[in-house]
Amino acid sequence: MAPSKKPDRPTSFTNAKLYDPCPHPFPDCLSDKLPTESTCPSCIVTRCTAAIKEAQEDYAVRGGVFMMRITAELEKKPPWHAYIAQKWRVAKVGLINAVTLFEDLVKEGKIQGEDENRIKEALEIWERQKERGWKVPGHVYYGDEHEMTEEEKETCRLMIELLRRNVEKLIREMDNEKGQTEGPESEGTLRVGLSLPTPPPELPSKSLPEELTEPNTPQPLGPSPPGSITSTPPTSILKRKSTFPSPSTSTSSALRRKRVRFRDFASSDPSPSPSLSPRRKRVRFREFVTVSSFQHSITHPSPFDLLSKPISSKPTVQPHGPNTSAEGKVRRKRAFHRTSSGYLPGAWASPAFYKKANTSFYKLSGRAAEEAAEREEREMREEAEVAEKLKVVWGAWVARWWVRNVVLSVGFQDLQQERGGDGSEVGSSNH
């Protein structure tokens, strides 16, 4: 059975709503230029601007013109995006056509007297409302952005300067660590036979700020080869000089390129360098896992779980569930598809003709998605009511058990004697 249509839900917006009859006089010069002769120019402009304002407010409530859906917390009704878009479009088109017609008549100068005053009054209403009517809700305009003050500019400059210094310090630390771990052999030639170009000789560096210079630059560890220069170039990228030729060098030297020659045979060393073949990280699962309480891991816990499970905010250590290692058997790719002859169902395979629950509402309309959400909320409220009634029943059962097992075993006489003794003791204490 199809859901009943709500009577208060609008379906369409047409020009007829903008040209409803009004009690004001109609100019004779517009008798053959407007769809109807029962609405004055001022009422046409006022109704169009009011419709545009209402559409803008509706868009603003829904997050702007580019927001296609609305959350249930913001509004419980389905989004009226089609109706709002039609209302906004019809009102703007009708307003622009009417204002253009009124301006052309005023420029021609063919109207005089009361007709001219009525049309000019409508144009004055348009002049007061046009600044707001053209803006699109949800779109950021450059004119709306405020200019930063001098204090804000200075704060931004200091933040950028601090970020730059931190990045430079981090780069220097990374270069120092790299210089300590790598030897001179790693900088020259790789073991596969790829000859790397030697670093250029150190040139006189320009003066740097004091906060960016380092008094002692650590030297790389490891023995240097005989006959090599002991001095090493600076490791910081700020101190490294460009490899581009200077303007004083000749054109032939500037066009030179260092050649890279590959050997005919690659080295097959059974024990490669650790830097070239890093070890694979091993992943080991523990036998127990730390499980958080269901109050912290479930968004809307069921009230029946709150009654049946103990309330605890501390995590517990439990063994892995059966689902952790359920998919232990490796399946080939051809065994994944149900239509293939070698299909092998996995641990999480659904039975045949099983209909899965649609939790994303991806292919549903806005009205159907909202009705599904309302149905879920109604079921949650019903569950909460049932849980409250179960609490009452639980209290009645406890009272019944106390009467049958406590009151009857002690006896009414003994209970009265105990109450009488308590009363006498209380009376004597009062005296």
pLDDT, one tens digit per residue, over 155-201 is 888 888 888 998 998 888 888 877 766 555 444 444 444 444 444 44
**Helix pair angle (114-133, 41-61), 10° resolution:** 10
Q: Does pTM surpass 0.75?
A: no
Look over the chain and give the mean of its residue pLDDT values, rounded to a whole number: 69
- What would the two tokens of residue 356 be? 């899965």
pLDDT, one tens digit per residue, over 289-339 is 888 876 677 766 666 666 666 666 678 888 887 777 777 667 788 888 888
* CA dist., res. 221 & res. 184, Å (int): 8
Cβ contacts of 176 within 8 Å, gap of 6 or more: 217, 218, 235
In the predicted model, residues of the chain with pLDDT beneath 70 are 1-16, 63, 65-81, 134, 137-147, 180-281, 283, 294-295, 299-313, 328-329, 407-431
Q: According to the model, what pLDDT value does residue 2 have?
A: 46
Q: According to the model, what pLDDT value does residue 190 have?
A: 41
- What would the two tokens of residue 75 be? 């509004």
Residue 56: helix, strand or coil by DSSP? helix
Surface-to-core class of residue 98, CB atoms within 10 Å of its CB (0-12 exposed, 13-18 middle, 19+ buried):
buried
Q: What is the dihedral of CA 86, 91, 92, 98, to 10 degrees?
A: 140
Q: According to the model, what pLDDT value does residue 378 have?
A: 92
The closest of 59, 63, 54, 60 to 91, measured between CA atoms, is 54
Q: According to the model, what pLDDT value does residue 208 have?
A: 44
Q: Which residue has the tokens 């066009």?
A: 255
Q: What is the dihedral of CA 370, 375, 380, 384, to 10 degrees?
A: 130
Residue 288 host element (H or E): strand 288-291
The closest of 358, 354, 355 to 373, measured between CA atoms, is 358
Length of the chain: 431
- What would the two tokens of residue 64 be? 């702007």
216 CB neighbour count, 10 Å cutoff: 5
Q: How remote is the C-alpha of 186 from its chain's centroid?
A: 45
